[in-house]
Amino acid sequence: MLQNAFPDNKNSDNRDLNNISKNTSSIIDMIQLEDFNQQIYEQFSSLLEKKKLTNQLNDSVSVQEFIAESKRLNIIEKAPFYVAKCLFTDQIVKEIEAYRILLYQVC
Protein backbone atom coordinates (compact mmCIF):
# COMPACT_ATOMS: atom_id res chain seq x y z
CA MET A 1 0.00 0.00 0.00
CA LEU A 2 2.84 2.34 0.80
CA GLN A 3 4.30 1.64 -2.64
CA ASN A 4 1.13 2.93 -4.33
CA ALA A 5 1.33 6.15 -2.32
CA PHE A 6 4.74 6.90 -3.85
CA PRO A 7 4.70 5.69 -7.44
CA ASP A 8 7.92 5.09 -9.27
CA ASN A 9 8.68 8.31 -11.18
CA LYS A 10 11.48 6.89 -13.32
CA ASN A 11 9.27 6.54 -16.42
CA SER A 12 7.87 10.01 -15.90
CA ASP A 13 11.36 11.43 -15.43
CA ASN A 14 12.58 9.72 -18.60
CA ARG A 15 9.64 11.16 -20.56
CA ASP A 16 10.38 14.62 -19.16
CA LEU A 17 14.05 14.35 -20.11
CA ASN A 18 13.10 13.13 -23.57
CA ASN A 19 10.73 16.10 -24.03
CA ILE A 20 13.39 18.52 -22.80
CA SER A 21 15.87 17.01 -25.23
CA LYS A 22 13.40 17.36 -28.13
CA ASN A 23 12.61 20.96 -27.16
CA THR A 24 16.29 21.82 -26.87
CA SER A 25 16.95 20.30 -30.28
CA SER A 26 14.07 22.31 -31.78
CA ILE A 27 15.40 25.53 -30.25
CA ILE A 28 18.88 24.86 -31.62
CA ASP A 29 17.40 24.17 -35.07
CA MET A 30 15.46 27.47 -34.96
CA ILE A 31 18.57 29.43 -33.93
CA GLN A 32 20.59 27.84 -36.72
CA LEU A 33 17.81 28.64 -39.20
CA GLU A 34 17.72 32.26 -38.03
CA ASP A 35 21.51 32.49 -38.43
CA PHE A 36 21.26 30.96 -41.90
CA ASN A 37 18.46 33.37 -42.88
CA GLN A 38 20.51 36.29 -41.56
CA GLN A 39 23.48 35.21 -43.66
CA ILE A 40 21.29 34.97 -46.75
CA TYR A 41 19.78 38.38 -46.07
CA GLU A 42 23.24 39.90 -45.61
CA GLN A 43 24.47 38.32 -48.84
CA PHE A 44 21.46 39.57 -50.83
CA SER A 45 21.45 43.01 -49.21
CA SER A 46 25.17 43.48 -49.90
CA LEU A 47 24.44 42.99 -53.60
CA LEU A 48 21.62 45.55 -53.33
CA GLU A 49 23.87 48.02 -51.52
CA LYS A 50 26.61 47.59 -54.11
CA LYS A 51 24.17 48.27 -56.94
CA LYS A 52 22.63 51.17 -55.03
CA LEU A 53 26.02 52.84 -54.57
CA THR A 54 26.77 52.50 -58.28
CA ASN A 55 23.25 53.72 -59.16
CA GLN A 56 22.39 50.49 -61.00
CA LEU A 57 19.16 49.51 -59.23
CA ASN A 58 16.95 50.31 -62.22
CA ASP A 59 19.31 48.75 -64.74
CA SER A 60 17.53 45.79 -66.37
CA VAL A 61 20.70 43.70 -66.18
CA SER A 62 20.98 44.38 -62.44
CA VAL A 63 17.31 43.55 -61.91
CA GLN A 64 17.81 40.21 -63.65
CA GLU A 65 20.89 39.67 -61.48
CA PHE A 66 18.76 40.26 -58.34
CA ILE A 67 16.16 37.79 -59.54
CA ALA A 68 18.81 35.19 -60.39
CA GLU A 69 20.49 35.69 -57.01
CA SER A 70 17.20 35.36 -55.14
CA LYS A 71 16.49 32.12 -57.01
CA ARG A 72 19.99 30.85 -56.28
CA LEU A 73 19.58 31.65 -52.58
CA ASN A 74 16.09 30.14 -52.65
CA ILE A 75 14.50 33.37 -51.39
CA ILE A 76 12.41 34.37 -54.39
CA GLU A 77 9.32 34.70 -52.14
CA LYS A 78 11.22 36.82 -49.62
CA ALA A 79 13.06 39.01 -52.12
CA PRO A 80 10.46 41.82 -52.12
CA PHE A 81 10.72 42.05 -48.33
CA TYR A 82 14.51 42.05 -48.42
CA VAL A 83 14.50 44.76 -51.08
CA ALA A 84 12.11 46.89 -49.03
CA LYS A 85 14.06 46.37 -45.82
CA CYS A 86 17.35 47.26 -47.47
CA LEU A 87 16.32 50.19 -49.65
CA PHE A 88 13.53 52.15 -48.03
CA THR A 89 14.01 54.97 -45.55
CA ASP A 90 11.66 57.64 -44.26
CA GLN A 91 11.62 59.00 -47.83
CA ILE A 92 9.76 55.92 -49.08
CA VAL A 93 7.38 57.81 -51.40
CA LYS A 94 10.29 59.27 -53.36
CA GLU A 95 12.20 55.99 -53.25
CA ILE A 96 9.29 54.02 -54.71
CA GLU A 97 9.51 56.17 -57.82
CA ALA A 98 13.31 55.96 -57.89
CA TYR A 99 13.31 52.14 -57.66
CA ARG A 100 10.19 51.64 -59.80
CA ILE A 101 11.72 49.25 -62.35
CA LEU A 102 13.34 47.09 -59.68
CA LEU A 103 10.13 46.94 -57.64
CA TYR A 104 7.99 45.99 -60.65
CA GLN A 105 10.27 43.10 -61.49
CA VAL A 106 10.99 41.79 -57.99
CA CYS A 107 7.51 42.24 -56.55
CB 44 within 8 A of CB 75: yes
What number of CA atoms fall less than 13 Å from residue 53's CA on the CB side? 6
Instruction: Give the pLDDT confidence of 15-28 residue by residue, as tens digits.
Output: 655 665 565 655 55
* Beta-carbon count within 10 A of 107 CB: 10
Query: What pTM was estimated for this model as a whole?
Result: 0.60
Q: Delimit the domains of the chain by residue range.
A: 9-106
Instruction: Give the pLDDT confidence of 50-106 residue by residue, as tens digits.
Output: 988 998 988 889 899 989 999 998 888 888 988 888 888 899 898 899 888 888 988
* Beta-carbon count within 10 A of 7 CB: 9
